[in-house]
Structure 1
Amino acid sequence: MRKILVVNSKGGCGKTTIATNLAVALAARGEDVALADADRQKSSLSWVKRRPSKFAAIDGLNWTKESSIGEKTKGLDAIVIDGPGGLRSELAKTLIAEASDILVPVLASAFDWNATLKFLDGISEIKRVRKGKADIHVVANRINRRSAQVAELEQTLAQKGYPVLCRISDRVAYAKHAAAGTGVFDFLDAQSHEVRGQWHPLLQAVDT
């Protein structure tokens, strides 16, 4: 069973958007998936409650307390974890120690990538990551194609040893899906084809 942790100490990076849409992508192809919420705001759990029954089922798990980690995981193919902010709490350290993949969303802003670099350096020092038992994947999130900072973001992170895996565009569709309890992979229409294509490098990475 894969445990995919979505985490960053920098708020507003779109952590829950990545977590919910990744869970949908895995569930839509027939996997038994749970979405574990370890963030005190419980946005992912609220999203699960709004999810229409006609779409692929995704179980919601409340992992906001360290004692609840690992509950109700039997028979699952994958767990996507909407992680807490920061590395200081024992909860965050426990989740990272359990993860097979760690996804770190970052915005194309100097304020965001400087904070994220410190966070990535902190993750890299954790034993499980240092020994290569968990892979870190950096996702450029809420990207505006016209922004000149995207290339600078990717260059800065690559120079520090954290290449950007994929770019996820800033689209109104994500906000609509968040409100409806759905994701971009629930609908296979031509209009969202380009949006779904941006996720393929990420899906390939968590499959290996």
Structure 2
Amino acid sequence: MRHIMVLNAKGGSGKTTLATNLAAYYASTGKDVVLADFDPQGSSLAWLEARGAGRPRIHGMNGAGDGLKGVRKADVMIMDSPAAVHGKDLTALLRRAETVLIPVLPSPIDMRAVAKFIHEVKDSAPVSGKKVKLALVANRAREVTNIYWELEAFLGTLKIPFLTHLRDSMNYIRAAERGIGIHEMAPYATALDREQWKPIISWLNSKRSQP
């Protein structure tokens, strides 16, 4: 089973948005998907509850509550991590994944926070032992702002693959309300969003994303 984690110690960085859209994407391609929510707030599981019965099935698990006891076999497990995770808890989470996506918001506070966090992640045993691959995603980016370019320059200094910018779009809010993903919405309305997701999907489907 492929294990993909969305991780950032900074709250509000868009982890659940990435996790739910990844789960919906893989489910829409016919994969057997588990969505494991390690955040006590349970936002990913709440998204799953809003999902219509006619949509491709995604199996939810409460990682925060049961620690994935009795996890079922599947093709892909998408893991939504909690905020403020450090030290031994961070290492334990990283041991569950082969691939980690780190979303970053375009703000000075978020950039400073993620720089410190990535240093901690790189020093963890799973990553330093080359058992986990990392990549960055700029989230809620607006191209017309100076901070967009500052974020792009900053991410280029972290020596981790920087995959793409995801725009600040109402499509993500509409998808969250309905328990669906960008790839399950009308193609004409989500053409730009789908285009921005292509580098993420391409990287995840390549050997470069796996140890």
User: Could you state the TM-score of these two structures normalised by the residue count of structure 1?
Assistant: 0.93
Aligned 8 A contact 1:84 1:92 in 2 = no
Structure 2 equivalent of residue 33 of structure 1: 33
Deviation at 1:98, TM superposition (A): 1.6
Looking at structure 2, the residues matched to 162 and 103 of structure 1 have their Cα atoms a distance apart, in angstroms, of 10
Summarize deviations over 1:66-109 as a string: whole Å, max 9, x none: x52353231x0111100011333644322211211111100111
Which amino acid is the alignment partner of residue 15 of structure 1?
Answer: K
SS of structure 2 residue aligned to 1:64: helix
Structure 2 equivalent of residue 189 of structure 1: 187
Quote the RMSD (CA, aligned, Å): 1.5
* Number of corresponding residues: 206
Looking at structure 2, the residues matched to 19 and 123 of structure 1 have their Cα atoms a distance apart, in angstroms, of 19
Deviation at 1:206, TM superposition (A): 1.6
Summarize deviations over 1:114-164 as a string: whole Å, max 9, x none: 100111111111111112221111000011121111221121222231342
Q: Any gaps of 5 or more consecutive residues in structure 1?
A: none
Structure 2 equivalent of residue 107 of structure 1: 105
SS of structure 2 residue aligned to 1:98: coil
Structure 2 equivalent of residue 144 of structure 1: 142
Looking at structure 1, the residues matched to 70 and 36 of structure 2 have their Cα atoms a distance apart, in angstroms, of 10
Structure 1 equivalent of residue 197 of structure 2: 199
Structure 1 equivalent of residue 24 of structure 2: 24
Structure 1 residues 129, 89: closer, same or farther in 2, change over 3 A? closer
Structure 1 equivalent of residue 67 of structure 2: 68
Looking at structure 1, the residues matched to 116 and 24 of structure 2 have their Cα atoms a distance apart, in angstroms, of 30
The within-5 A match list for 1:52-67 is 52-65=52-65
1:164 aligns with 2:174: no
Aligned 8 A contact 2:91 2:126 in 1 = no
Which portions of structure 1, spanning 4 or more consecutive aligned residues, are displaced by more than 6 angstroms?
none
Which amino acid is the alignment partner of residue 75 of structure 2?
Answer: D
Summarize deviations over 1:145-186 as a string: whole Å, max 9, x none: 211112211212222313421110100111111111111111
Summarize deviations over 1:36-85 as a string: whole Å, max 9, x none: 000010000111111001111111100004x52353231x0111100011
Structure 1 equivalent of residue 126 of structure 2: 128
Which amino acid is the alignment partner of residue 146 of structure 1?
Answer: V
Structure 1 residues 39, 89: closer, same or farther in 2, change over 3 A? farther
Q: Any gaps of 5 or more consecutive residues in structure 2?
A: 207-211
Deviation at 1:200, TM superposition (A): 1.1
Aligned 8 A contact 1:86 1:119 in 2 = no
